[in-house]
Amino acid sequence: MMVLSSARISRILFCIAFIVMFPMGAHAAVCKTWQGWENFKTRFISEGGRVIDPSTAALATTSEGQSYALLFALIANDRAQFVKILEWTENNLAEGDLTARLPAWLWGRRDNGSWGVMDANAASDADLWIAYALAEAGRLWMVPKYTALAQLIADRVLREETLVVQGLGRVLLPGPVGFRPEPGVVRLNPSYLPIQLLRRFAELFPHPDWKLLLRTSVEVLHRSAPQGFAPDWVIYRSDTGFQLDAESKGEGGYNAIRVYLWAGMLAPGEAERSKLLNRFLAMARQVEVTGVPPLMVASREGTASGVGPAGFSGALLPFLAAIRRPDAVRQQRIRLDARMPQDRSDNYYDQVLTLFGLGWIDGHFRFESNGTLSPRWTCAEN
């Protein structure tokens, strides 16, 4: 009689969980190579580990792109690529030392033809994803230096990119500079607030401010979308509360699409999942009626306009699956297949959104209720 080890039993149970969680054929490729990641690497990542957006004149690299690539490499169990991406990020965006500074958000070809940092301000969403990817890499690959670096970056995020605002609490600023137009007023980006990351940090790191930030972030997501549509940007005033952001006119588009993506990927056991999914049901109804994601939504009025690109369909897949709209999931997946052929190579953001959406719905990864990452390779033989 064959006796199964506890490790083998755990791996079997993990795979069974994926079969239950992703019933629409998602389990068919369990424990196989993530081809989407392989395609992304070929199209967008240089030999040295730089994520390039070829649609920009500067052939730009952002800290956001580097952060997502770190996560994707971890999901794919691609240690060699993870190391390259991390080293490039540290050497070029953080002056060679991520323990001492947050990475600059924009790097590329300057007007004078030279290459380097084009804007030294940091972007807090990228900083969160970098810290998260490092923390989970440290846990999954058992690399203590990644865990230590994750905590240093997370601590710096709290010091340099959060602020206590009267009437709301501790909020995540989009970056260290430029988002406090006047005393008692902050400009916030709801798509910078993936709750699964904040949940993980609140458990992993000892500073109590992570729990405060988690609670406030849920309120920002909920209260900034009164009609059920997330805005790209929102203003909060201590005396009057949430207000229309004049610069973006309260519209929700290329930034806000990630709000639905992050919410859709929340674990069933996440305490805030139902609250957030229910808040954004208006987006699901819009997609079901029209058959396409809107390009832009006036978040205060709840009116939609334009047709979103293929990547928006990819981003909405987890959200539509989470609220049990299987027909809408199939519809958006068919649209994605029709609008984004495999040889397309110039639309970095569409490809990122699609890699997240398809990667999740095809079962390559999931987030647990405590925020930890569960990549599918953990059920493969080692």
Give the residue numbers marked as catalytic: 64, 125
CA distance 173 to 102: 14
CA distance 261 to 42: 24
- Is the backbone of residue 194 left (phi > 0), alpha (psi -120 to 50) or beta? beta
Question: Three-state SS for 47?
Answer: coil
Q: What is the DSSP string of 97-109?
A: -TTTSPPPSEEEE
DSSP tag of 292 = S
Residue partners of 8: CB distance under 8 A and separation at least 6:
none
Nearest-CA neighbor of 263 among 172, 194, 356, 190? 194
Cβ 318 vs Cβ 261: under 8 Å: yes
CA distance 253 to 248: 10
CA distance 42 to 24: 28
CA distance 145 to 137: 10
Angle at which helices 281-290 and 310-322 pack, to 10 degrees? 120
Pairing of strands 106-109, 115-119: antiparallel
- Is the backbone of residue 291 left (phi > 0), alpha (psi -120 to 50) or beta? left
